[in-house]
Structures are given as C-alpha cells and as structure tokens.
Amino acid sequence: MDWSSFFRVPLDHLPFVVLVLLIAFAVHEFAHAYAAYKFGDPTAKMLGRVTLNPAKHIDILGLLLFVIVGFGWAKPVPVNRANFEKPRMMSIIVTAVGPLSNLLLAFFGMLIYYLLIFNLGLDLGTGNPRVGEALSIFFGYFLQFNIVMFVFNLIPLPPLDGYRIVEELAPLPVRRKLAQFEQWSVFIFLLIVFIPPLRAVTIEPLFSLVQPMMTGIMEFWLRFFV
C-alpha cells in the first residue's frame, strides 16, 4: 500500500511537517494561555497550559487531520473572562494573540532561515546540500503553515478565534443571536468547505491571501541579505 496517498505532503516530508505543527500549535495556545494569565485569569495556569511544551497543547486527531486534509486543531485553552478586570477588551486581546503569534512565527522564522543560509552558508550551493535542502523544506512549511493558521483562525465561525473576536465586538442583542447558531457551527463549516460555490465566496478569498503574505515576508527579509 502506498501510504503517501493518505497525506497532503510527501511521505518523506512528514517529520518536517509534524515538527512545524508542534511548534505552531504550541506557540498559538501558549499565547492564549499566557495572555489570559497575565490579565488575571489563572484557569490555564492551573491546568499547566502556560507552557511551550507541545504535549500540553496537541490534540492528536487535530494534528493528524491537519496533515491529511489540511486543517485541524489543538486543545483549546480554557479562559474564564469573568476574571478579567475589563472582560470585553481583555478577551479580544487574549483571543487575538493566538493567530498573531503564528504571524510573528512566520515573520521571524524567515529571518532565521536567511541568517542561516546567507551568514552560515547552509544553502544548496555552498557545499552543504543535504543541510540546505532540509532547511528549505522545514522553513518552507514553517512559513506556509503559520500563515495558514493565522488566516484560518480569523474565519468568524465558532470555535475559531475570528468568531470570538466578532462575538466580543458585537452588541449584546447580536451576541444572543449568534449564540443560537453556535450548535450548528460544525455543519456550517463543513458546508462551506465541501460545497464549491459557498467555499468560493467565503473561505477562498481569505486563503487567497496566504501566498501574497508569504511572498511579502520573504521579500521583506531578502532585501537585507542580497
């Protein structure tokens, strides 16, 4: 059996992909947990979630689905907004730092990549082809997946971060209306993903931003090295 047919990436790339996802998910959830703790909510701290240890954050099924179908999840960080001095504003910040952490990982990840290949000569043309190839594969996925996670989490559907931000910004009557539809969120999401006309006017415009963002980050740092 050709097991590579089950995955969206080449089988020999799986170690790089899994490592990238462990980092991206761990930093994303740590950012939520740390921000909530600093704002006065000890819930995540008591559960051991204010850590960069991936074992505390990874959901195995969510990780596998990301590798196989291209989207997945980590264990959500529990947050009790009642512990915040300013619940609405602080909830928005706690929510937003998750996807922003992935954007920052992508941004500074490419800086590290260029420092390695230009300053240490670890690119494909300076006598280190295997190291250079491994770096290219790892940081290619690192850039792509962190941008994808940034964009994906901005989709305003529960339980994604984009929805929580919209929910906090909405007036109370609107929030009550939104709460009525939360139970149907999984079905709505599946319809959007698997029905092409719906996908074309909802998530595809968002995901069309991934490649320009990747190119922009690469071009930003590259100008400092060439």
User: Hey, which residues are catalytic here?
Assistant: 29
CA distance 187 to 122: 47
Identify the helix (H) or strand (E) that includes residue 25: helix 14-38
- Asked whether the beta carbons of 7 and 63 are under 8 A apart, the reply is no
Please tell me the total number of residues recorded for the chain in this structure.
Answer: 226
Provide DSSP, 154-207. TSSSTTSHHHHHHHHHS-HHHHHHHHHHGGGHHHHHHHHHH-HHHHHHTHHHHH
Spatial contact of 37 and 70, defined as CB atoms under 8 Å apart:
no
